[in-house]
C-alpha cells in the first residue's frame, strides 16, 4: 500500500524529538539481527550511475528479496516518486510478494544503501517508547561521494513516520561498520572507525565510549581491515558477523597469493583470541569467498558474509561460483531454525554492496505485530 508521508509528517512532527541523553541511560540497547523484527526497510533502486548496465536486474533482486521477506515480516520500501511506486508495486506483485505486508513510502533517496545512512534501531523493555533509533552522521563513506550526503536526512524522516525518539551522537558512522550480538559485544574494524576521514578528532577510547552509550554494549572486538574492492574502508558486514551470541563467521581466502589472504588471516587470528561477554573464547567459523568477482576490470567486494537475517529466513548473496553451495550449507547449519535463501547478486555487487548493505531491520517491541 502507498502511505502518504506528507500527511504523516504533519501529524507526527510534535511526537518526535531528538533526544540529548544517551540511549544507554534510558535503558536502550541495539538488539542482535536475529532477534524478532517488525519489518525490514529497503529503498527502491533507481541510480543509473551506480548500475549503468544492471539496473533492471537489480530491481528484480529487490522483488525477490521482498518476496522472501514479506512472508515473514513487513517490508517498508522507500520510493522517489509515484512512477517508482507504481513500478515497484508491479514488480513485487509479479514476483509473488505478499502486498498486504508491503508499505511504500514516498521518501526520496540518492541511492539504496539504507544500512549505512538509515536508522540504527535500539529497544528497551517495558514502558512507553520501547523503540527508538540512533541517527548517525552520514558523510558519504568518508566524503568519497559528496552527493550521497543528501541521504543523511532519510533517517529523520523515518523517525517522524514512526513517531519514535531519535538519538544523535554527532559522530560519523555507517550501520554496515558495526555488528552486535545483543549481549554486550560490538564487532568492528580499525580501518573504518579509526579512519581519519570519519572522526579525526576521536581516538579508540572515545569511539568506544560513544558506542557504549549509543548501542548499549560493554565489550569490543576490533578487526583490522576489510576486503579488496570495498569502498567503505572495511565495513564489518563483508568480513565477520555474529550468528548467535557466541559464534562468529569470518571470511577467509585460501589462496596465499590473493590480496585478501593476509588481512583476512589477521582478522581470523584476532577472532580466535577474542572472548565473549562471559570471558570465553568465541566459536569462529570460516566462510569462503566467492573467488574474484570483477566488473569492467575492477575487483568487487563480493562476500557471503553480507547476508541478512530476517524472521525465519536468511538471505545470502551468491555469485555463480562453486563456493556458493558451500557457503549456503555452512550458514544453513548455523541457522537451524531459519530457511536459507541464495539470492544471485552479481548485478547488485557491481554497485559495490550486497544484501546486508541495502537492508535495515526494525526490531519487534511489545505491542507491535510482525
Task: Could you list the beta-strand ranges (E) of 124-207.
Answer: 131-134, 166-167, 179-180, 185-189
Average pLDDT for residues 103-112, to the nearest whole number? 98
Residues tagged active-site: 357
Q: Is the pLDDT of residue 40 over 80?
A: yes
Facing residues of 179 across strands?
A: 187
pLDDT of residue 5: 40
Does a structural domain hold residue 93? yes
Residues 308 and 32 sit within 8 Å (Cβ to Cβ) = no
For 217-260, where are the alpha helices, taking DSSP H only?
none
pLDDT, residue 1, reads 42
Cα gap 147→182, rounded to integer Å? 34
Q: What is the pTM of this model?
A: 0.95
In a domain, 342, yes or no: yes
pLDDT in tens, 200-225: 999 999 999 999 999 999 999 999 99
Residue 238 in contact with residue 301, Cβ under 8 Å? yes
Cα–Cα distance, 135 to 169 (Å, whole number) = 8
The average pLDDT across 4-33 equals 68
The pLDDT score that the predictor gives to residue 369 is: 63
pLDDT of residue 76: 98
pLDDT at 10 over 50: no
Q: At 246, which CATH number?
A: 3.75.10.10
pLDDT band, very low/low/confident/very high, at 367 (cuts 50, 70, 90): low
Q: Looking up cell 567459523, which residue turns up? A: 285
Q: Is residue 370 part of a domain?
A: no
Nearest CA among 358, 350, 72 for reference residue 235: 358
Question: Is residue 313 included in any domain, yes or no?
Answer: yes
Mean predicted confidence (pLDDT) in 191-202: 98
pLDDT of residue 370: 67
- Does residue 6 surpass a pLDDT of 70? no
pLDDT at 30: 98
Is the pLDDT at 7 greater than 50? The verdict is no
Q: Distances from the Cα of 138 to the Cαs of 57, 115, 152, 158, 173, in angstroms? A: 28, 11, 5, 15, 6
Residue 344 maps to a domain: yes
The closest of 53, 149, 69 to 109, measured between CA atoms, is 149
- For 250-308, what is each residue's pLDDT tens digit? 999 999 999 999 999 999 999 999 999 999 999 999 999 999 999 999 999 999 999 99
Looking at residue 16, its pLDDT comes to 54
Tell whether 368 is covered by a domain: no
DSSP assigned state of 34: T
Going by pLDDT thresholds of 50, 70 and 90, the confidence category of residue 88 is: very high
What would the grid cell of residue 71 be? 512472508
What mean pLDDT comes out for the span 154-163?
Answer: 95
Tens digit of each residue's pLDDT (9 = 90 or more) over 166-182 = 999 999 999 999 999 99
Mean pLDDT of all residues belonging to the chain:
94
Q: Which residue has the higher pLDDT, 136 or 15?
A: 136
pLDDT, tens only, 42-57: 999 999 999 999 999 9
pLDDT surpassing 60 at residue 249: yes
Is residue 129 within 8 Å of residue 19, measured between CB atoms? Answer: no
Q: Is residue 61 part of a domain?
A: yes
Residues composing the chain: 370
Looking at the chain, the whole-number percentage of residues with pLDDT higher than 90 is 92
Q: Residue 2 has what pLDDT?
A: 43
Mean pLDDT, range 236-257, rounded to an integer: 97
**Could you list the residue range(s) of the whole structural domain that residue 37 is in?**
2-363
Is residue 268 situated within a structural domain?
yes
Number of domains composing the chain: 1
Amino acid at each position: 500500500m502507498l502511505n502518504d508521508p506528507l500527511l504523516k509528517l504533519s501529524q507526527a512532527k510534535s511526537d518526535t524529538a531528538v533526544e540529548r541523553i544517551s540511549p544507554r541511560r534510558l535503558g536502550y540497547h541495539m538488539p542482535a539481527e536475529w532477534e524478532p523484527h517488525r519489518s525490514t526497510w529497503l529503498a527502491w533502486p533507481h541510480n543509473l550511475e551506480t548500475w549503468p548496465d544492471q539496473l533492471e536486474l537489480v530491481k528484480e533482486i529487490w522483488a525477490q528479496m521482498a518476496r522472501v521477506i514479506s512472508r515473514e515480516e513487513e517490508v517498508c520500501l522507500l520510493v522517489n516518486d509515484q512512477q517508482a511506486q507504481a513500478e515497484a508495486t508491479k514488480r513485487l506483485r509479479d514476483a509473488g510478494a505478499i502486498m498486504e505486508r508491503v508499505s511504500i513510502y514516498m521518501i526520496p533517496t540518492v541511492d539504496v544503501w539504507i544500512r549505512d545512512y538509515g536508522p540504527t534501531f535500539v529497544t528497551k523493555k517495558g514502558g512507553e517508547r520501547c523503540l527508538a533509533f540512533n541517527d548517525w552522521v552520514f558523510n558519504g563513506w568518508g566524503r568519497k561521494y559528496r552527493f550521497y550526503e543528501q541521504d543523511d536526512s532519510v533517517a529523520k524522516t523515518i523517525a517522524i513516520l514512526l513517531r519514535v525518539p531519535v538519538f544523535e551522537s554527532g559522530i560519523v558512522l555507517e550501520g554496515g561498520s558495526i555488528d552486535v550480538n545483543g549481549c554486550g559485544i560490538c564487532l568492528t574494524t580499525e580501518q573504518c572507525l579509526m579512519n581519519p576521514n570519519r572522526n579525526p578528532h576521536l581516538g579508540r577510547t572515545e569511539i568506544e565510549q560513544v558506542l557504549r552509550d549509543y548501542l548499549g554494549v560493554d565489550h569490543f572486538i576490533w578487526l583490522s581491515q576489510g576486503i579488496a574492492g570495498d569502498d567503505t574502508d572495511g565495513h564489518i558486514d563483508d568480513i565477520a558477523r555474529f550468528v548467535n551470541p557466541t559464534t562468529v563467521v569470518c571470511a577467509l581466502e585460501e589462496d596465499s597469493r590473493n590480496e585478501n589472504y593476509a588481512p583476512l588471516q589477521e582478522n581470523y587470528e584476532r577472532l580466535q583470541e577474542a572472548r565473549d561477554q562471559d570471558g570465553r573464547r568465541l566459536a569462529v567459523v570460516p566462510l569462503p569467498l566467492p573467488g574474484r568477482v570483477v566488473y569492467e576490470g575492477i575487483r568487487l567486494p563480493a562476500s557471503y558474509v553480507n547476508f541478512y537475517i530476517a524472521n525465519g529466513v536468511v538471505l545470502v548473496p551468491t555469485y555463480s561460483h562453486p563456493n556458493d553451495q558451500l557457503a549456503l550449507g555452512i550458514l544453513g547449519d548455523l541457522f537451524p531454525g531459519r530457511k536459507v535463501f541464495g539470492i544471485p547478486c552479481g548485478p547488485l555487487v557491481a554497485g559495490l554492496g550486497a544484501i546486508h548493505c541495502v537492508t535495515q531491520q526494525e526490531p519487534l517491541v511489545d505491542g507491535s505485530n510482525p
